Amino acid sequence: MTQSVGQDDGVSELARAWARVRANLRRSAGARVFDHWLAPIALADGDDCVDVRLTLPSAFMTNWVKSHYADRLVHEFRAVLPGVRSVAIDTAPRAVVAPVVLAAPAPTVTSVAPPAAVAGEGAERPALDERLTFDRFVVDASNMVALNAAQALAAPGPVRFSPLFLHGGTGQGKTHLMNAIAHQFLAARPGARVMLMSAERFMFEFVAAMRARDTFAFKARLRGCDLLLIDDLQFIAGKDVTQDEFFHTVNEIMAAGKRLVIAADRAPQALDGVEPRILGRLAAGLVVDIKPSSPELRRAVLARRVAEMPDMRVPADVLDLLAERITSSIRELEGALTRVTAYAMLTNQPIDLAFATQTLGDMLRGHQRRVTIDQIQKLVCDHFELKPLDLVSARRARAVARPRQIAMYLSKRLTTRSLPEIGRKFGGRDHSTVIHAVRRIEELRDSDREVDQAVHILLGQLQG
């Protein structure tokens, strides 16, 4: 049975339906496709619930969405508004702006309320997620340095450092901090030019500009920014023409004393396929690692999100279950909570441990894999072509000592074994040796490409 989406709260029925359609699209299409192609879609003015009109900021994006999602949009709208007859997808008319500054896409918002902070007249208007602000970022030791660095870069006054390079695993808060930086910067400087985009979007738009023989406007749009934020830098690896343009953009931004924020899934030195001249520029700024979330941080994130849903009661044991079992990313953790609360609302059932376990069955089973120290040692030996006895021996040659440290690091990160237990599995070493190994590998991941790449590969094999 289709639920009514209209409520007497000043929000139109069509706008409320659009908010639900967007949420459904994000879940079904995935965050990456949604952020790159579907998030910029805007609901055209009007309250026509029969012939719906949507707009996109460029003809390039309009054609892509028409080709890939036209039928899906009709289906999604009819699921919440059965009376919908058609969904038109058009390119939004460009606003009149100062020369060389392109009209920017409509902001990406998750509610129908206007954005709290937008660029001023004639300035670049970024596509920001209104939920991703500093006050909603939950902090602990794993991300405290990144948060402080982000707030410092967003603060008014002279630029203390630029670029800021954030790196960490998927869903650990990089994109949240980038949106928060843009929000705070625009709050202090409403007329500033700000651009937030993924490296993949950078590539697509640059290629489109070359094909249209209009690269001047593209370059002016980015290089004229007061704050430029590029996410997922790893996606330009191997794209020589795109990297050349990216390098010159970075140079222009830095030479002008403007602010630049870059994010990637690994440290600059570990970005294979990215030109050394680019890595040199990025490493000259502040490089900050966002480490994997602790159980305490995951629990705090859930508590914060539940506090934002005053009409929804989620017992503590359910939150404990999610924090303990959903460990891959904060994004997936929040998605699990959303799924539980949405199912409870749609089925009118109370949330308890049994309900959560049933609702998240597939997701929880996917996180049941238990990694053991024996598995880690075997995989490390296979990767470095060592014998199992090498890891527990007294040999101190680097060819053995470094893989042993990596195995200890992975054992501490992926298992629940105590430091003394880990030490005993590596030839009876004491806990201080394990601590030294963990700290050393954490340091090398920021400075040694080979070590970081090895750890990245091993983590993928163990967690895959």
Using DSSP's 3-state secondary structure scheme, residue 156 falls into coil
pLDDT, tens digit, 9 for 90 and up, residues 334-344: 888 988 988 88
Query: What is the helix (H) or strand (E) element at residue 231, kind and residue range?
Result: strand 227-231
The average pLDDT across 28-33 equals: 73
For residue 6, give both structure tokens: 């209209």
Domains of the chain as residue ranges with CATH: 13-91 (3.30.300.180), 134-290 (3.40.50.300), 295-366 (1.10.8.60), 373-463 (1.10.1750.10)
- What percent of the chain lies above the pLDDT cut of 90? 20
Is 74:86 a contact under the CB 8 Å cutoff? Answer: yes
d(CA 161, CA 126): 22
Task: Please give the residue that has the higher pLDDT: either 4 or 101.
Answer: 4
Sheet of 259-264, strands arranged across: 194-198, 227-231, 259-264, 164-168, 286-290
- pLDDT category at 463 given cuts 50, 70, 90 is low
- If you average pLDDT over residues 31-42, what whole number do you get? 79
Look at phi and psi of residue 238 and say left if phi exceeds 0, alpha if psi is from -120 to 50, else beta. Answer: left
Looking at the whole model, is its pTM more than 0.85?
A: no
Mean local confidence (pLDDT), 109-117: 30
pLDDT per residue as tens digits for the range 49-90: 888 899 987 776 787 788 778 888 988 888 888 888 888 898
Check pLDDT > 90 for residue 120: no
Q: Are residues 101 and 122 in contact, defined by beta-carbon separation less than 8 angstroms?
A: yes
Rounded Cα distance between 123 and 61, Å, is 21
Q: For residues 93 and 425, what is the distance between their CA atoms, to the nearest angstrom?
A: 66
| Per-residue model confidence (pLDDT) at position 205 | 85
Q: Is the pLDDT of residue 28 over 80?
A: no
Structure tokens at 107: 């902001």
Inter-residue contact 321 to 357 (CB < 8 Å): yes
- pLDDT(113) > 60: no
Q: Enumerate residues 6+ apart whose C-beta is below 8 A from 169.
A: 265, 290, 292, 329
Sheet holding 86-91, edge to edge: 42-43, 51-56, 86-91
Average pLDDT over residues 422-449: 90
